[in-house]
C-alpha cells in the first residue's frame, strides 16, 4: 500500500450480550492482544491511539426496550467517526482494532460525512436483524449493525446527524456468511429481495475467493462511490481454526480462503480503511488466535 497505515483502537464491547450473567464480553481486549503480537511494527503503522468506550452496563434494560446501550453507542459512534473521518480526509488508511462489530456504526458515519461509500463486510452472520424481521424484538447491536447502517431500526442509531442511511443497500457486500444449514437465521431471501449483495460460504467456494472478491468490488467500488470500508468479523473463520469468538457456529472459511478474499479488497485503491472485530482473548488463554490474526493482517495489509 502507498498510503500511511494508522493503527487505531476501538475497544467497545457495547454491542454484545453478556457471555454469562454478571460478566462482560471479552472482545474489548482484542486490540491489546494483537498489539502484543507486535502488529503496529509488523504493519509499519503510525500510532492512532485509542477511542475509549463507555462502561459496559445494561442497567435496567429488558427485552422489548430496543437496542441496549443505545445512548452510549450513539455517543461512541460519533467520537469514533471523528477520528476515522480525520484520517480518511488526510489520505491515511485507518486500521481499526475492535471491539465488537457495532463499531461499524462509527466508521460508516465517518465515511457518510465525507461522501458515498460502500461496505465490504466479511462475517459469519449477516447482522441484519431489525424490527421488521425480528418479531421477538432487537437488543444487541452486534447482531443488527448492517441493518442499522443501512437505515433500519431506531432513529437514535440509524439517523445520527440526519445522515440515514450511512450506507445504501446497493453499496453493501456481505461475504463469508454461514450457509443456511449452519446459520438458519441469516436472511438470504430478504437480502436478495433488497438487492444486497451476499456470498455465503458455498458461493465463495464455488466461485473461488478471488472471483468472489472481484464481484464484490463491482458493488462497493463502483465508479459513483468515493470508495469503500472493509470490515472483518473474526467469526468468518471456522471455529476449528479460530474458536475464540462470540458466535462459533461451524461451517466457516479457512485461513487461506479469508486471506484470498481480503487481499483484492484491501489492495484496491478504493479501499478507505479496514477494521477487525469479535475476537475474544478471554476464550484464547494461549494467544493462538491473536497470533493467527496478526499473521493474517500482516500478510494482507503490510507493504
Find out whether 144 and 167 touch, Cβ atoms under 8 Å.
no
pLDDT at residue 186 greater than cutoff 90: no
Cα 42–chain centre separation: 22
Q: Provide the pLDDT for residue 47.
A: 98
Q: What is the pLDDT of residues 51-60, one digit of tens each?
A: 999 999 999 9
Contacts of residue 49, Cβ cutoff 8 Å, sequence gap at least 6: 8, 9, 83
- Residue 210 pLDDT exceeds 60: yes
How high is the pLDDT of residue 184? 81
pLDDT value of position 231: 98
> Is residue 176 pLDDT above 90, yes or no?
yes
Q: Is the confidence at residue 1, as pLDDT, over 60? A: no
Residue 14 · residue 89 · CB < 8 Å = no
Tell me the pLDDT tens digit for each residue of 255-267.
999 999 999 999 9
Cell triple for 152 = 433500519
Grid coordinates standing for 156? 437514535
The pLDDT tens digits of the residues spanning 69-82 come to 999 999 999 999 99
pLDDT at 278 over 60: yes
Count CA atoms within 13 Å of residue 232 on its CB side. 26
Query: The sheet that has 197-200: what strands, in order across it?
Result: 46-50, 5-9, 93-97, 271-277, 227-233, 117-122, 172-177, 197-200
Average pLDDT of the chain, as a whole number:
96
Query: What is the arithmetic mean of pLDDT over 139-164?
Result: 97
Write down the pTM of the prediction. Answer: 0.97
Amino acid at each position: 500500500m502507498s498510503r500511511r497505515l494508522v493503527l487505531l483502537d476501538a475497544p467497545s464491547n457495547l454491542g454484545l450480550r453478556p457471555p454469562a450473567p454478571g460478566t462482560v464480553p471479552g472482545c474489548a481486549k482484542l486490540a491489546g492482544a494483537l498489539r502484543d503480537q507486535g502488529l503496529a511494527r509488523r504493519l509499519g503503522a503510525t500510532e492512532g491511539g485509542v477511542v475509549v468506550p463507555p462502561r459496559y452496563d445494561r442497567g435496567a434494560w429488558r427485552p422489548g426496550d430496543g437496542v441496549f446501550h443505545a445512548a452510549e453507542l450513539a455517543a461512541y459512534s460519533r467520537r469514533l467517526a471523528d477520528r476515522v473521518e480525520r484520517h480518511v480526509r488526510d489520505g491515511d488508511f485507518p486500521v481499526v482494532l475492535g471491539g465488537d462489530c457495532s463499531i461499524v456504526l462509527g466508521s460508516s458515519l465517518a465515511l457518510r460525512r465525507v461522501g458515498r461509500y460502500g461496505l465490504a463486510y466479511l462475517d459469519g452472520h449477516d447482522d441484519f436483524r431489525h424490527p421488521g424481521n425480528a418479531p421477538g424484538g432487537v437488543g444487541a447491536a452486534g447482531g443488527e449493525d448492517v441493518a442499522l447502517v443501512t437505515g433500519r431500526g431506531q432513529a437514535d442509531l440509524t439517523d445520527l446527524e440526519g445522515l440515514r442511511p450511512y450506507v445504501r443497500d446497493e453499496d453493501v457486500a456481505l461475504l463469508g456468511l454461514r450457509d443456511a444449514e449452519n446459520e438458519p437465521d441469516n436472511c438470504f431471501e430478504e437480502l436478495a429481495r433488497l438487492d444486497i449483495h451476499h456470498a455465503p460460504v458455498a458461493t465463495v467456494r464455488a466461485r473461488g475467493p478471488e472471483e468472489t472478491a472481484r464481484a464484490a468490488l463491482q458493488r462497493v467500488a463502483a465508479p459513483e462511490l468515493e470508495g469503500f470500508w472493509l470490515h472483518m468479523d473474526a467469526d468468518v473463520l471456522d471455529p476449528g481454526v479460530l474458536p475464540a469468538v462470540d458466535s462459533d457456529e461451524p461451517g466457516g472459511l479457512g485461513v487461506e480462503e479469508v486471506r484470498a478474499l481480503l487481499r483484492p479488497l484491501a489492495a484496491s485503491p478504493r479501499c478507505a480503511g479496514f477494521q477487525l472485530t469479535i475476537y475474544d482473548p478471554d476464550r484464547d488463554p494461549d494467544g493462538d488466535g491473536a497470533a493467527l490474526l496478526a499473521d493474517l493482517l500482516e500478510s494482507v495489509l503490510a507493504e
